[in-house]
Amino acid sequence: MRNDAPIASAPPEAPLVEQAYEALRRSLIRCEFEPGQRLRVEELQRRYGFSSSPLREALNRLVQQGFVRTLEHRGFRVAPLSIEGITDLTRVRLLVECEALRDAMRHGDDRWEAGLVAALHALSLVEKRLGTGPVVLDDEWTSRHRAFHLAIYSGCTSPLLTEMVDGLFDQAERFRRFSARLRTTHRAKNNEHQRLFNAVLARDEVQALALLEQHIRSTERNVTTALRTLAAGNSGPH
């Protein structure tokens, strides 16, 4: 499982394809491109400073991960964000993440527990500094939030499951960031994470899995509300 945050960059010594991939992936997760926007290679060259070859390879990799769609005439577009999309993503996240968490609680050792304690502490510190603002749009919070959730699953014994969790979390992050721009209320995230942490550390499978499902479904509700609000605004009089 990768431990880098969604906003992390590839190291300068990394191959150009990897650098281009990380740069594009970061921009897509941060919603720097609008859903459905055409991704023209020549424009991406000017924006990121890479040649067309690594950019095309990176775009094809992002197609496989669901962030980008291909066009009939060999072009690319940003994948759409829809209610159907977040519903499907939520369904798959529940299947994969609940199983990964169950496995982690059954097999996680002392090192796993220590990592979980450290991850929650780091997340709590940044949430205290940010107060009641829209934390989901803060890059440091995003990094520590991701680290906390991946720490929970890091005790899982299945490399395939943890890889799937990693990719699904990044897909959800894109939806979260998009919906946060339209949100008018703020969630008490620290309380949610603390309760989940307590249940996981106690290895209470029933409680932990129930709290995880609530956490994932609350993201679905927020995103659905934001997308409906956006659709209603776009369908109004011009």
Spell out where 47-173 has E strands: 68-70, 76-78
Residue pLDDT, tens place only, 38-72: 999 999 999 999 999 999 999 999 999 999 999 87
Q: Is the pLDDT of residue 154 over 70?
A: yes
Which domains does the chain carry?
16-78 (1.10.10.10), 83-234 (1.20.120.530)
Mean pLDDT of 147-175: 95
The H or E element containing residue 77 is strand 76-78
Q: Is the pLDDT of residue 131 over 80?
A: no
Q: Which two tokens stand for residue 1?
A: 């499982």
> Considering the entire predicted model, what is its pTM?
0.85
Residue pLDDT, tens place only, 171-225: 999 999 988 877 655 555 568 899 999 999 999 999 999 999 999 999 999 999 9
The H or E element containing residue 11 is none
Mean pLDDT of 141-155: 94
Residue pLDDT, tens place only, 67-113: 999 987 779 999 999 999 999 999 999 999 999 999 999 999 999 99
Distance in angstroms (rounded) separating the CA atoms of residues 83 and 237? 23
The H or E element containing residue 76 is strand 76-78
Quote the distance between the C-alpha of residue 129 and its chain's center: 22
Distance in angstroms (rounded) separating the CA atoms of residues 52 and 43? 10
Taking CA atoms, 169 is separated from 55, 61, 172, 191, 205, in Å, by: 24, 17, 5, 20, 21
Q: What is the pLDDT at residue 214?
A: 95
Q: Is the pLDDT of residue 11 over 60?
A: no
Taking CA atoms, 52 is separated from 9, 28, 85, 176, in Å, by: 19, 18, 30, 30
Name the one residue in this structure whose structure tokens are 């609680």. 105
Contact 141, 207 (CB under 8 A): no
Q: What is the pLDDT at residue 203?
A: 96
